[in-house]
Structure 1
Amino acid sequence: MIQLRGVSKEFAHRRGSVEALHGIDLEAADGEFVAVVGRSGCGKSTLLRLIAGLVPPTRGEVLMRGRAVTGPRPDCAVLFQRPALLPWRSVLDNVLLPAEIAGERRNGSRERALGLISTMGLDGFQRRLPHELSGGMQQRVALCRSLMRRPRVLLMDEPFSALDALTRDELCAELQRTHREHPSTVVLVTHSVDEAVLLADRVVVLTPRPGRIRTVLDITLPRPRTRTEAGQAEQLARRAAELHAMLLDSES
């Protein structure tokens, strides 16, 4: 589904250039959930923007379904750290926005939007405005909006980092269920090792800048995963400890 071949990215500055990523070779299979972790400034968000077609690579190529990514694609949705909801539009109208932009029929789109809203536990809030919702609820709306057009690829840039721990756990559970029901290829950028282990099939560890792939860790634990069940919690903690060790080793 997604392929990066020898991808490097440099940004020009007045005093020269800064290399954010160097020689990235990575693949994500159809329906796979991949998490990317690393220290601040290692190029995680840049990697996501390259896949989304928001910035071009300096060297190498990014492919999606065998075709070069040259700009944003309609089958790829991006969920950022902040929900970025339109403040004058209701929950329902925010979720409907991608369908409206695509010129899709209102009745069928409305039915799908209401189904997503219900799936995310937002029944009764369809007509509320964003300022009337908590941060976690706003991010649920943003996730509904991202899934509205059934994207083949969902790119997530630290979507839960601004939320409290309990809300993050709730949204991680929702995301696992949503991915089972709508199996898009997901690439998640996160600072949270625990979040990566909980959600991903594979975790990519980047080195400090310029970001290179330090290692890729397979997470073969059964789904759904939860930190509240004793047996699973122990296994998740063990894999998280392995990841922490890899991150520390990448600094040496």
Structure 2
Amino acid sequence: MIQLSAVSKEFTNRKGTVRALHGIDLTAAEGEFVAVVGRSGCGKSTLLRLIAGLLPPSSGDIRIGGLPVTGPRREVAMLFQRPALLPWRSVLDNVLLPVEISGLPRAEYRDRAVRLLTTMGLDAFQRRLPHELSGGMQQRVALCRSLIQRPEVLLMDEPFSALDALTREELSVELQRIHLEYAATVVLVTHSVDEAVLLADRVVVLSPRPGQVRTVLDIGIPRPRSLGHDVHRTELARLSAELHELLLSGGG
């Protein structure tokens, strides 16, 4: 579904050239959940923006579904760290915003928007404004907005990092369920090793800048997963420890 071949990205400013990523080879199969971890500045978010078509690569090839990525595409949705909801629009209207931007019939998507909000436990908040919601509820709305057009690919840039630990874990459980239900290919950038192990089929570890793929760790644990009282918690803890060691030894 997603294929990156020898992808590099450089940024040039008055002070010179900064190489953010170098020689990235990476694939994500259809329906797979891939997490990307690494230390700050290693190019994780840049990698996500390249896949989304928001930035062009300096060299290399990026394809989704066999087609070259030359810009944003309707079948690719992106969820950012901040929900970025429009404060003057209701919850329901925020979810329907991509439909309006794409020039699609709003009426045909309204029922789907309501179903998504119901799935996220937000059915009673359709007419509320964003400031009336908690941070976790706002991010749930943003997730519904990302799913409204049934994307084949969902890119997530640290979507839970601004939330408290309990809300993060609750949303991680919700995201597992959403992934199983909608079967989109997901690439998640996160600073949280525990979050990566909890959610992903594979975890990609990037080296310090310029970011390169140092290793890819398979997470062969059945879903649903939990960091609490889970029959697989020993294996989850072992994988988390392995990732921590990789990052501390210069792997991210």
TM range (shorter): over 0.9
Shift of 1:107: 2.7
Which residue number in structure 1 is paired with residue 147 of structure 2? 147
Unaligned stretches of 5+ residues in structure 2: none
- Is 1:63 aligned to residue 63 of structure 2? yes
CA distance in 1, matches of 2:121, 2:101: 25
**Which residue type is aligned with residue 175 of structure 2?**
L
**Which residue type is aligned with residue 160 of structure 1?**
F
CA distance in 2, matches of 1:42, 1:54: 18
**Which residue type is aligned with residue 34 of structure 1?**
V
Superposed CA deviations along residues 10-58 of structure 1, whole A, max 9, x for unmatched, are: 0001121000000000000000000000000000000000000000000
Unaligned stretches of 5+ residues in structure 1: none
Superposed CA deviations along residues 202-231 of structure 1, whole A, max 9, x for unmatched, are: 000000000000100000000000112243
User: Is the Cα contact below 8 Å between 2:77 and 2:153 reproduced in 1?
Assistant: yes
- Is 1:33 aligned to residue 29 of structure 2? no
CA distance in 2, matches of 1:206, 1:184: 23
User: Relative to structure 2, which stretch is displaced further, 153-162 or 223-232?
Assistant: 223-232
Shift of 1:67: 1.1
SS of the residue corresponding to residue 96 of structure 2 reads helix
Which residue number in structure 1 is paired with residue 99 of structure 2? 99
Moved over 3 A (4+): none
**Which residue type is aligned with residue 77 of structure 1?**
A
User: Is the Cα contact below 8 Å between 1:156 and 1:186 reproduced in 2?
Assistant: yes
Which residue number in structure 2 is paired with residue 217 of structure 1? 217
**Which residue type is aligned with residue 232 of structure 1?**
H
Identity %: 72
**Which residue type is aligned with residue 169 of structure 2?**
D
User: Is the Cα contact below 8 Å between 1:214 and 1:250 reproduced in 2?
Assistant: no
User: Is the Cα contact below 8 Å between 2:206 and 2:251 reproduced in 1?
Assistant: no
Change (3 A) 1:119 1:62: same
**Which residue type is aligned with residue 105 of structure 1?**
P
- Is 1:114 aligned to residue 97 of structure 2? no
CA distance in 2, matches of 1:91, 1:200: 29
Which residue number in structure 1 is paired with residue 126 of structure 2? 126
RMSD: 1.1
Shift of 1:103: 2.6
Which residue number in structure 1 is paired with residue 233 of structure 2? 233
Which residue number in structure 1 is paired with residue 85 of structure 2? 85
- Is 1:162 aligned to residue 178 of structure 2? no
Shift of 1:251: 5.2
**Which residue type is aligned with residue 51 of structure 1?**
I
SS of the residue corresponding to residue 156 of structure 1 reads strand
Provide the aligned length of Structure 1 versus Structure 2: 252
CA distance in 1, matches of 2:124, 2:68: 42
Which residue number in structure 1 is paired with residue 45 of structure 2? 45
- Is 1:20 aligned to residue 11 of structure 2? no
Which residue number in structure 2 is paired with residue 190 of structure 1? 190
Which residue number in structure 1 is paired with residue 74 of structure 2? 74
CA distance in 1, matches of 2:76, 2:247: 29
Which residue number in structure 1 is paired with residue 249 of structure 2? 249
